[in-house]
Amino acid sequence: MDTSAVKETAIQSAHDEDRLEELKAFDDTKAGVKGLLDTGITTLPKIFIRPLDELEEDSSYGHSQVQVPVIDLSGIANDDQHKTIVDEIRRASEEWGFFQLVNHGVPASVLDGMIDGTRKFHEQDAELKKEYYTRDRMRKVRYDSNIDLYQSKAANWRDTLTISLISSNEFEPDELPEVCRSEAIDYISYVTKLGENLFQLLSEALGLKQDSLNTMGCAMARTFVCHYYPACPQPELTMGVNRHTDPAFLTILLQDQIGGLQILHNNHWIDVPPMPGSLVVNIADLLQIVSNDKYKSVEHRVIANHNGPRISAACFFVGNPDPTYAYGPIKELISEESPALYKEFTVREYIRNFFARTIDKSRLRNMKL
């Protein structure tokens, strides 16, 4: 190795060591991005600044004002309207991977309560939040900042409260933070039922029996994440969350009125503007796999914003977590003309692989036959 290469390696090693120390110092505060902002910072710490090549790459994507499909469930009990809704869900799932849902049956008071409860948790005294701060993904209720903090090139401007119903489908109320307990319990109940109903419609849209996806346990295990994106002093240099796809079957997202969610559609970033009373639904990786690419799991991101805080709550339906239960392309969707495109997998295997690297690296290609 020549002298210049040795010098470059040494500089990079020193840079990596400095960055690791900065990441650990941030992590050790257990106060998250909110804690940073509370110190009065006006410029971003280096750990949040995206690499120059990433910022330049981002500028190569166009932006479009095309609207994500909006689907109204109000006529679902009417036979003719039911058929129309199923067809709308099929088209949105195949062509967009995303849609906004209105008249979905979750009361406005429950939606507002979840936004308010999330805000209350993140804005309470830092010492009260610290008891939940951990990077142990086996903890049912946990609070942290950046799930891939130590793997990513740049940290995201976001804190998260996670309620995991994977290892156990039930929880005791006192396991949840008191400040948002009743709001979270109500929201979990309503959104779980909505997810089961959506899996019925998605089954029909694939030409399957109505109970097919639910029988496969697609709605069985769930993870609820309650995100808090503080106002950012230099939003052009960082992200609320990097581009990624979701390691689940389906995601139902509640967002407040700040905005910032974007999806990648036909090589353009499309805004998903908040609609009062609506929920955003997106196809996730595992549903793309079992549908044998009929449904699409598409990349999405959240941009940072001068305004804030932005608050959202996402429910990931992750399927049957039994380590002996294998998923793969649904047999009814496979034929000589449409052979299976993916290997079989377990939910635990897929999620483990997802968290092994940065979240912006899709795992779908690794599952191809």
User: What per-residue confidence (pLDDT) applies to 11?
Assistant: 41
How many structural domains is the chain composed of? 1
Average pLDDT value for residue range 233-242: 96
On the question of pLDDT at 258 being above 50, the answer is yes
Does 53 map to a domain? yes
DSSP 327: B
Does 24 map to a domain? no
Angle between helices 181-205 and 79-95 (to 10 degrees): 90
Does 197 map to a domain? yes
Q: Give per-residue pLDDT as tens, 194-233.
A: 999 999 999 999 999 999 999 999 999 999 999 999 999 9
Q: Give per-residue pLDDT as tens, 321-367.
A: 999 999 999 999 999 999 999 999 999 888 888 877 777 767 788 88
Does 50 map to a domain? yes
Does 301 map to a domain? yes
Does 2 map to a domain? no
pTM of the model: 0.93
Does 183 map to a domain? yes
Does 10 map to a domain? no
CATH number of the domain that residue 317 is part of: 2.60.120.330
Q: Give the domain extent around 234.
A: 31-367
32: left (phi over 0), alpha (psi -120 to 50) or beta: left
User: What per-residue confidence (pLDDT) applies to 62?
Assistant: 67
Q: Residue 50 in contact with residue 241, Cβ under 8 Å? A: no
CA distance 38 to 59: 31
CA distance 83 to 90: 11
Q: Residue 260 in contact with residue 315, Cβ under 8 Å? A: no
